[in-house]
Amino acid sequence: MSFTLLAVFALPAISIPFVYLTGKKSNKAAAIFVALIALVILALLLTTVPAILNNPGHRYVESHAWIQILNADFSLFADGMSVSIAIISVILIFAAALFSINYMEGKKNVAVYYALLTMLSIGLVGVFITSNLILFYFCWELMLVPAYFIVGNWGYRDSYKAAFKFFIFTHAGAVFVLLGIGAIYWLTGFTDMFQAQTALLTTAFPDVVKWVLIALTAGFAVKMAIVPVHMWLPDAHSEAPATMSALLSGVIISAGAYAILRLSLGVVFPAVNLADPAFALNFLHALAIFGIISAFFGSLIALVETDIKRLIAYSSIAHMGYIMFGISLFPSNAVAGTAVLVVSTTAIAGTILHILSHAVSKGLFFLSAGAVMHQTETRDIREMGGLAGKMPFTAVSATIAALSIAGAPPFACFISEVLIFIGAFQVMATDSFYILPTVLMLVATVLSLAYSLRFTSRVFLGSNKNWGEKKIVEVPKYMKIALAIVVVMVIIIGIYPTPFLNLIQTVQFG
């Protein structure tokens, strides 16, 4: 019996008290401890890749006895989608830990911060590698608790107010998720998502399955911050410390997109499509509409926002719109009245790759913004300008992040957006509904370029006499190393996404 993925859970859980005790002695040592934990988890995840690529089912699976009364095993798995997102998540945790060495210097209770960051990593990675619905929900909620305290305790102005708003919104969404999971168990008697998917196809209550689909998707959409349930995101992301903003925008909201793919569409949608094909198609069209609204809303607000972190936060809403649009595409040509999903491979690849691309690009964007705020002690882009000469390394990192978010080649989001739109054109052949949404999403990409260029020009170009005698210097070395790591990932995914695409193309839905 293998314990590779169990070790991914156990290692950070066991390490939490040791990270705290290390942090009481040395903040730098605690940060390096967290970074080393992330490296070990990364190595463990990478060992599953050969099995995913070579096994007939393209999954690496572990199962350990757990709650027998519910017939629930501690079931863990990795496939091309889950392991790819988990790998990116761990890389961002590693970068955030290194960035924190300088960024958190001089702040109080930093030992608690690193212990919470270690706890957060359990939930962040655990969501992607479990097939047990109870364990999934545990990890889903575990992301919330340490994030609340990190935002509240080490944020900026009204940090606890923003953290409370984040907690209330996302926990309200989690209630819908819990209702959906409870209904799945009631309908099927299974807590394993793959067994439940098969059992739902023969359920005696097909109308209930529709509500399960709606409840799960609504709950996950709150975590994604899709309009109109987005209100928590700008405050939480802008008030959080830069490292937490990078993880919030890079991983936590991406978990919502993953959950819709894995549970809403992967587990429940086939049964809905079998029972009521017209409802299933309308449901997908509704996802596309919400995606378009989110993309335009986020982009238009980002075009006029003057707070450096709120600007980036609204761009996260916009890109979740792109992902929601992509999510609506790939099961759109499902065979009506069957459980078979004849999916667009290109749309699948583009949507999942965009989750990865957005994660690294937005993580870099927020870390760069945090570096600017750390060195200048201001967050209003109207008071900035001319920083390229004073902070050249940060300027290059932020520009790469902005251009990637804008969908410019050769950076990460370019290739994923191209694949999404190619998938959209493929779906148009069988569903003319997507003609107008695709045109609108193409327009939204122009808006992304506009706010990205505005950010770069306002912050780094031109000159600024407002600095006066204030000396602005480049960020310290550990912040540079963290930025460099994420820059490399943004460039690698943009130029050579093949390793991730090879994994993604093995993913099986339905």
In order, the DSSP letters of 456-468 are HHHHHSS--GGGT
pLDDT mean over 440-468: 87
Burial 199-237 (b: 16+ CB within 10 A, else e): bbbebeebeebbebbbbbbbbbbbbbbbbebbebbbbbb
Q: What is the pLDDT of residue 468?
A: 59
For residues 402 and 451, give the distance between their C-alpha atoms in angstroms, rounded to a whole number.
9
Q: What is the pLDDT of residue 69?
A: 85
Q: What is the dihedral of CA 188, 193, 197, 200, to 10 degrees?
A: 20
100 and 113 Cβ atoms separated by less than 8 Å: yes
pLDDT tens digit sequence for 59-100:
999 998 898 888 888 999 999 999 999 999 999 999 999 999
Asked whether the predicted pLDDT for residue 335 surpasses 50, the reply is no
144 and 167 Cβ atoms separated by less than 8 Å: yes
Element (H, E) at 287: helix 277-304
For residues 96 and 38, give the distance between their C-alpha atoms in angstroms, rounded to a whole number.
10
Banded model confidence at residue 114, pLDDT cuts 50, 70, 90: very high
Q: What is the pLDDT of residue 238?
A: 85
- Higher pLDDT: 385 or 220? It is 220
Q: What is the pLDDT of residue 342?
A: 44
Sequence length of the chain is 510
pLDDT tens digit sequence for 197-211:
999 988 878 889 999
For residues 188 and 436, give the distance between their C-alpha atoms in angstroms, rounded to a whole number.
39
For residues 19 and 22, give the distance between their C-alpha atoms in angstroms, rounded to a whole number.
5
pLDDT mean over 388-394: 91
Element (H, E) at 63: strand 60-67
For residues 102 and 348, give the distance between their C-alpha atoms in angstroms, rounded to a whole number.
39
Residue 92 identity:
L
Asked whether the predicted pLDDT for residue 348 surpasses 90, the reply is no
pLDDT tens digit sequence for 237-277:
888 999 999 998 888 999 999 999 999 999 999 899 888 88
Closest residue by Cα to residue 413 from 454, 363, 355, 367 = 355
Q: 87 burial class (0-12, 13-18, 19+ CB within 10 angstroms)?
A: buried
pLDDT tens digit sequence for 153-208:
998 878 888 899 999 999 899 999 999 999 999 999 999 999 999 999 888 788 89
Banded model confidence at residue 508, pLDDT cuts 50, 70, 90: confident
| Crossing angle between the packed helical segments 159-188 and 232-239, to the nearest 10 degrees | 130
The full set of domain ranges for the chain reads 4-504
Q: 25 burial class (0-12, 13-18, 19+ CB within 10 angstroms)?
A: exposed
Q: What is the pLDDT of residue 332?
A: 46
For residues 224 and 227, give the distance between their C-alpha atoms in angstroms, rounded to a whole number.
9
Asked whether the predicted pLDDT for residue 3 surpasses 70, the reply is yes
Banded model confidence at residue 340, pLDDT cuts 50, 70, 90: very low
> For residue 239, what are the β-bridge partners?
none
pLDDT tens digit sequence for 31-55:
999 999 999 999 999 999 999 999 8
Closest residue by Cα to residue 245 from 135, 335, 337, 372 = 372
Q: What is the pLDDT of residue 467?
A: 60
* Residues ≥6 apart with Cβ < 8 Å to 18: 33
Asked whether the predicted pLDDT for residue 509 surpasses 80, the reply is no
**3-state SS class at 442:** helix
Asked whether the predicted pLDDT for residue 344 surpasses 70, the reply is no
For residues 177 and 213, give the distance between their C-alpha atoms in angstroms, rounded to a whole number.
10
Comparing 62-76, 315-329, 352-366, 394-408, which segment has the lowest mean pLDDT?
62-76
Q: What is the pLDDT of residue 389?
A: 86
**Chain CA centroid to CA 503, Å:** 18
Q: How many Cβ atoms from other residues are within 10 Å of residue 425's Cβ?
A: 14
For residue 151, give Cα distances in angstroms to 112, 119, 172: 13, 14, 18
What is the pLDDT of the chain when averaged over all its residues? 91
Backbone angles phi, psi at 72, to 5 degrees: -110, 120
